Structure 1
Amino acid sequence: MRQKQPVVLAAPSVLSVVLGVVLGVFTPLLVPQAAMAAPGNPAGGAYVPAEARAVTTSRPDRVVGNGTPASCTSRAVVAAVAKGGVITFNCGPRPVVIRMTATAKVRNTSARVVLDGGGKVTLSGMGQRRILYMNTCDKSLVWTTSHCDNQSRPQLVLQNLTFADGNATGEKLEGGGGAVFVRGGRVKVVNSTFIRNRCDSTGPDVGGAALRVLSQYRNLPVYVVRSTFGGAKGQGGVCSNGGAVSSIGVSWVILNSVMSYNKAIGRGANPARGGTPGGGSGGAIYTDGNRFTVRVAGSVIQNNTAREGGGAVFFVSNDMTGTLRIEKSRLRNNPSAGFETRGFPGIFFKGAGKPQVVASTLR
């Protein structure tokens, strides 16, 4: 079947905006300013350790495209991700949207998969499908160890990309992760933007409209560096829990990033109250499990909402060993419609001691 050409980004006309709103149709030509702007919080100032930085891609193993927008197809992306290695794009001089007609899946035989969009590539799920999937415990992607939930590879790096309109609604095997789902190995996100992603609207433990992560190797953290989740009204992620990111038993380090206008829309919390489907916590960040940590530094988390608890951050360490630390960050206007921890606006915290808030604003 012939692949549809990717969409070259162009400034939308007033007429196209009006038609899109009135008709309610998916209009990939309408690319919001949030997707065009540099991602993250450039004024954040948090130190980024070497292991959290973008990787060098000057000598890629694979290049998607031959210099034209038409050569950058969903099929080419899927094939490159399956083969692994360092992947870059050559789609011409202008930004492009590649409409994903299938989910790109990482094979567990890959030691490393690096996707680098060069700041010009948007991968779009078109509101119909998840964009990227990695799962070391998925037999269809090959089991490579006897301990699939705790292995060092594959290592997935997503950098200089935009993930738009991913949708994991209805995914039964592994829920959540509207744009990206990861279980096992390692993952980090650098200089990237996530807009308008979705996952199931109800459920006590499903979440991560943009990114859902489980079982990271030796509980080493997921790094999110200078990236944006939402960024403008109408561009945020929407899910039962974790309008931006969600995890169970996974540690996070979020540096110089922005999370705004994301929504947790489930109802009934976790465990679900009687007569409810559950969910509704963590407008931006939803974390659960036992021993794990979350550190937010140099970041802005604002204008997120939770129908239940934690308009900005929901953090539950079941064995009370986990810690939450917020440094040089601004958390503001993150309403929790149901519950939050007194003295920490926008946060519900159950863990070791109290959240550590250093040189930060919470309101």
Structure 2
Amino acid sequence: MRRRALAAALTTVVLALAGCGGSPRNVAAPASPSPSSPVAAASSVPATSSAPSSTSAAPPPPQANGNPNGRATVPAEARAADTSIPTRVIGNGTPASCTSEAVVSAVGAGGVITFNCGPQPVTITMKATAKIKNVQGAKIVLDGGGKVTLSGEGKRRILYMNTCDKNQGWTTSHCQDQDHPSLTVQNLTFADGNSTGDTTEGGGGGAIFVRGGRFKVVNARFVRNRCDQTGPDLGGAAIRVLSQYHNQPVYIVSSTFGGAAGQGGVCANGGALSSIGVSWVVLNSVLSYNSAVGKGANPARPGTPGGGSGGAIYCDGNQFTVRLAGTLVEQNKANEGGGAVFFVSNDRSGTMSIESSTLRKNPSAGFETQGFPGIYFLGARPPSVSSSTLTR
């Protein structure tokens, strides 16, 4: 992807991204890499994936994530899915019954999935990646009730969906643009996912990888996730998305990526989110302490492995949009361009908007667009910024 000129300057900023894509050329700058990650605890014992239970006391409200000061309106299609009548329930009321095997089995079977692991928070250490089977219906919901953490143990990706993967079943002749499955993850924590070394579809997606169908995230937390630390275009320590039905956006709502020092994601590019040709709407969320640690940008400068752009968000492609509203993006960093956001629309048709958001302290060690601290942007026109603050 070529970059002809840095986008025009603006001094005030509102966060509404319309499309993320691309990579920097003819620009220089290195910096320093970032940390690695710990491992979480887990439960083992028999895997149980049972049908819905009938009566029980009302569950406690899910733990709150995201930006408490965010006031962006959430459209109906971006809200949490109704899980009052689950298709299947993981666990029988004890932490020991909530196992990796039970999660893998339930996700493979599809439907609306909830957890019954007892009254206290529980961490389930995944011994294998849970994979969506494309033939298992149009709608898949994974709801942790605010008490469940799925841990990749620092060794593996946690969740995988790919409509073009033959091993998960082809359901149409146009796998890259189909409306199903529709996957929602909500009220869950994804910790210590790691896709390093997994080159499927180019790699990336330390916690979650998605290609095709539809995908949204509501009230979730992503901490200490990892993907390969070198490479010009792979990314998404937390989430990597390739293609969505009719280019409809991925919604990220009231969710946290990192949130504190030592809790952020680390990858070559996109310490939190990464995509090619995919639109995003990020509402009332927090992206902080994430790092893009590659060196050499995209395309990679001679003698370098490439990467290092988009401390929090890395977007590439042609026509796509990115919108940030009610969102806090801070303390992210990039060894190359875009300490907060790297956005390159190769055909210059993509747009980005920032509304009622704050971007601050997101250093770009290499390059960024003048007037937009923490952002490298090439698109149809300068990012639209309203009721927002962008500072160094």
Q: Could you tell me the TM-score, scaled by structure 1's length?
A: 0.91
Alignment of 1:1-363 (within 5 A): 26=39, 28=41, 38-110=64-136, 111-174=138-201, 175-363=203-391
Q: Secondary structure at the match of 1:137?
A: coil
Q: Distance in 2 between matches of 1:173 and 1:187?
A: 19
Q: Given that residues 41 and 124 in structure 2 are in contact (C-alpha distance below 8 angstroms), is that contact kept between their aligned partners in structure 1? A: no
Cα shift readout 1:7-64 (whole Å, capped 9, x = no counterpart): xxxxxxxxxxxxxxxxx974538xxxxxx96210121000000000001100000000
Percent identity (aligned): 72
Q: Distance in 1 between matches of 2:40 and 2:114?
A: 26
Work out the CA distance in 2 between the residues paired with 1:106 and 1:256. Answer: 28
Aligned residue identity for 1:125: G
Q: Is the 8 A contact 2:206 2:239 kept in 1?
A: yes
Instruction: Provide Cα deviations, 1:245-300, integer angstroms capped at 9, x if missing partner.
Output: 00000000000000000000000001111111110000000000000000000000
Deviation at 1:173, TM superposition (A): 1.7
The change in CA–CA distance for 1:303 and 1:103 in structure 2 (over 3 A counts) is same
Aligned residue identity for 1:127: G
Q: Secondary structure at the match of 2:103?
A: helix
After TM superposition, where is structure 1 displaced by more than 6 Å over at least 4 residues in a row? none
The amino acid of 1:73's aligned partner reads: T
**Structure 1 counterpart of 2:186, one-letter code:** Q
- After alignment, is 167-176 or 282-291 more displaced? 167-176
1:141-191 per-residue CA deviation (whole Å, 9 max, x = no partner) reads 001111000000000000000000000000022300000000000000000
The whole-number CA distance in structure 2 between the counterparts of 1:169 and 1:37 is: 30
Query: Which ranges of structure 2 fall in alignment gaps of 5 or more residues?
Result: 1-36, 43-61
Alpha-carbon distance between aligned partners in 1 of 2:206 and 2:91, rounded to the nearest angstrom:
25
- What letter is aligned with 1:153? H
**Equivalent residues of 2:184, 2:216 under 8 A apart:** yes
CA distances 1:220-256 after superposition (whole Å, capped 9, x unpaired): 0000000000000000000000000000000000000
Q: Give CA deviations for 1:61-84 in whole Å, capped at 9, x if unaligned.
A: 000000000000000000000000
In 2: Cα distance, 1:90 partner to 1:25 partner? 26
Distance 2:38 2:384 in 1: 45
Given the superposition, is the C-alpha separation of residues 280 and 145 from structure 1 closer, same or farther in structure 2, using an over 3 Å criterion?
same
Inter-CA distance 49–25: structure 2 relative to 1 (3 Å threshold):
closer
Alpha-carbon separation, structure 1, partners of 2:181 and 2:132:
8
Change in CA separation of 1:173 and 1:27 when aligned onto 2, cut-off 3 Å: closer
Letter in 2 for 1:66: N
Supply the distance in 1 between the matched residues of 2:296 and 2:388 (Cα, whole angstroms). Answer: 31
Any idea what SS the aligned residue of 1:149 has? helix
- Mapped to 2, the partners of 1:172 and 1:38 lie a distance apart of 34
One-letter amino acid matched to 1:240: A
**SS of alignment partner, residue 147 of structure 2:** strand
Q: Separation in 1 of the partners of 2:63 and 2:177?
A: 37
Listed as ranges, the gaps of 5+ residues in structure 1 are: 1-23, 30-35
Counterpart of 1:170 in structure 2: which amino acid?
G
Distance verdict in 2 for CA 1:27–1:148, change over 3 Å = closer
Q: How many Å separate the matches in 2 of 1:303 and 1:88? A: 34
CA distance in 2, matches of 1:355, 1:179: 29
CA distance in 1, matches of 2:95, 2:316: 41
Residues 38 and 192 in structure 2, CA contact (< 8 A), matched pair in contact too: no
The amino acid across from 1:106 in the alignment is I
Report the Cα distance in structure 2 between the residues aligned to 1:113 and 1:196, rounded to whole angstroms. Answer: 25
Larger RCO: Structure 1 or Structure 2 (Cα < 8 Å, ≥ 6 residues apart)?
2
* CA distance, structure 2, for counterparts of residue 259 and residue 38 of structure 1: 15
Distance in 1 (CA, whole Å) between partners of 2:223 and 2:380 is 33
Alignment partners' CA distance in 2, 1:27 and 1:323: 39
Secondary structure of the residue aligned to 1:209 is coil
Give the length in aligned residue pairs. Answer: 334
